[in-house]
Amino acid sequence: MFGNNTLNVFVYWNGLYIPLFPLHTCIGFLRTLPSFSDAPSTSIHYINQLYRKFRPTTEVPTELGKDRDYNIDLIPKFMMANGEIVRFLTHTDVTRYLEFKQISGSFVYRDGKISKVPASEIEALASPLMGLFEKRRSKKFFEFIQNWKDEDPSTHQGINLDTNTMADIYKKFSLEPGTQDFIGHSLALHIDDSYINKPARDSYDRILLYVGSMARYGKSPYIYPLYGLGELPQGFARLSAIYGGTYMLDKPADELVYEDGNVVGVRSGTEIARTKQVICDPSYAKDKVRTIGRVVRAICFLKHPIPSTGDADSVQIVIPQNQVNRAHDIYVACVSSAHNVCAKDYYLAIVSTIIETENPEKEIEPGLNLLGPIADKFISISPIEEPLSDGTSDQVFISRSYDATSHFETVCEDVKDIYRRVTGNDLVLKQRPTQEEEQREMSQ
């Protein structure tokens, strides 16, 4: 089945990284995992698979609807409309096989309740997130961000984004701690407060990304593929064939094969696929990774929209760490039948955070309490793993595990890191050739 060819790169993944690589520039042949497995990032296409994974002796309740109505991402992540993942997918042309739908709202938790992240100046004026005087101070802050021009010192107001910290900027505009939480965690999407004492440039870029993504579609900055994230690798399966790729399902990796310290193949049963490099997630090379933390996730079935969201069919909610006396944020991602991921009139909400105690489920209670009555709930705990080395010594390049965030920005950073390790070059997305130019090049 493998033939006698030596593959340029062998990709083993049951996740979302495959279509994020500009594969036609660096990878000749691919392979991936089964469509259903024990990997944390699995996309489950039938509800009976979810019960088989978490409750193998329990029958699926009939009221949940038809088996085929479900496409459940165990780790759902939303895409920023102007974010790097959209540029990656557009550059690789995977988007020709995908259809996206906007997430209806972005919310933040403050003082025991959730409020919509304003999507317009009118919403900002009416928002309960801040009092009148704080709104005036915040308006000056956002005008400063919006008007900043590197080449024009008159827009800097005495601030240097590369040396001054966000703490300096918050102090300059006299912003309250709750407003700092809102800006740092709901707009800049930082996962903890370590950013406050770092140069402000990164936060500035993140805020511009959020605002630009919000302006693109309104309502929220996030989009999500119809039928879930499992559509990304499926779309890539079609695209990879154009560039000579080989994409196989239900072909587990039994072991990596080495010669003289370098990987030379992957064994599956009695067959060995010869290769020059392997790219994989931590589950395929446990001896080459270390655990740096754990994530708890609750997959919840609801029969109603999340309360206080205006009956939104999909939302993201960020619970900043300081609002619940934690060291890490809690994330709530909710999608519904509007995204073709569950039966009609049902909603899927996933609550997640990085584990800090010996009682993980209690740690996500602030998120669970926002959901209203929960029809059913599944709890999972996954390690956060990272590679012990950069992979250049043996040509096995390993990603980091998915974190607790409900968006793709941290994943994109990991993709760029892997690309740099594999190729020795930074990932630069050049202008794509037209279809006519591609066909002409391939025919030569």
Per-residue confidence (pLDDT) for residue 377, from 0 to 100: 95
Reading the block at residue 71, the tokens are 């496409």
Cβ neighbours for 364, distance < 8 A, ≥ 6 positions apart: 296, 298, 330, 351, 352, 353
Per-residue confidence (pLDDT) for residue 248, from 0 to 100: 67
DSSP 168-201: HHHHHTT--HHHHHIIIIIIS--SSGGGGGSBTH
Per-residue confidence (pLDDT) for residue 95, from 0 to 100: 85
Reading the block at residue 8, the tokens are 């340029």
For the chain, give percent helix, strand, coil, nearest 5: 35, 25, 40
Q: Can you state the angle between helices 409-423 and 84-92, rounded to 10 degrees?
A: 50
Q: Residue 387: what are its φ and ψ, rounded to 5°?
A: -70, 150
Domains within the chain, CATH numbers bracketed: 6-55+228-290+386-443 (3.50.50.60), 79-104+291-385 (3.30.519.10), 118-217 (1.10.405.10)
Per-residue confidence (pLDDT) for residue 25, from 0 to 100: 42
* pLDDT, tens digit only, all 444 positions of the chain: 455 555 555 665 554 555 545 444 444 444 444 444 455 556 777 788 888 888 999 988 888 888 888 988 888 889 999 988 888 888 777 888 889 999 999 999 999 999 999 877 778 878 888 888 999 999 999 999 999 999 999 999 999 999 999 999 999 999 999 999 999 999 999 988 999 999 999 999 999 999 999 988 888 999 999 999 888 877 877 777 776 666 666 677 788 899 999 999 888 888 888 888 888 888 888 999 999 999 999 999 999 999 999 999 999 999 999 999 999 999 999 999 999 999 999 999 999 999 999 999 999 999 999 999 999 999 999 999 999 999 999 999 999 988 888 788 788 888 889 889 988 888 887 665 555 655 565 555
Considering the entire predicted model, what is its pTM?
A: 0.86
What is the Cα–Cα distance from 267 to 237, expressed in whole angstroms?
A: 21
What is the Cα–Cα distance from 33 to 14, expressed in whole angstroms?
A: 5
Cβ neighbours for 304, distance < 8 A, ≥ 6 positions apart: 347, 372, 373
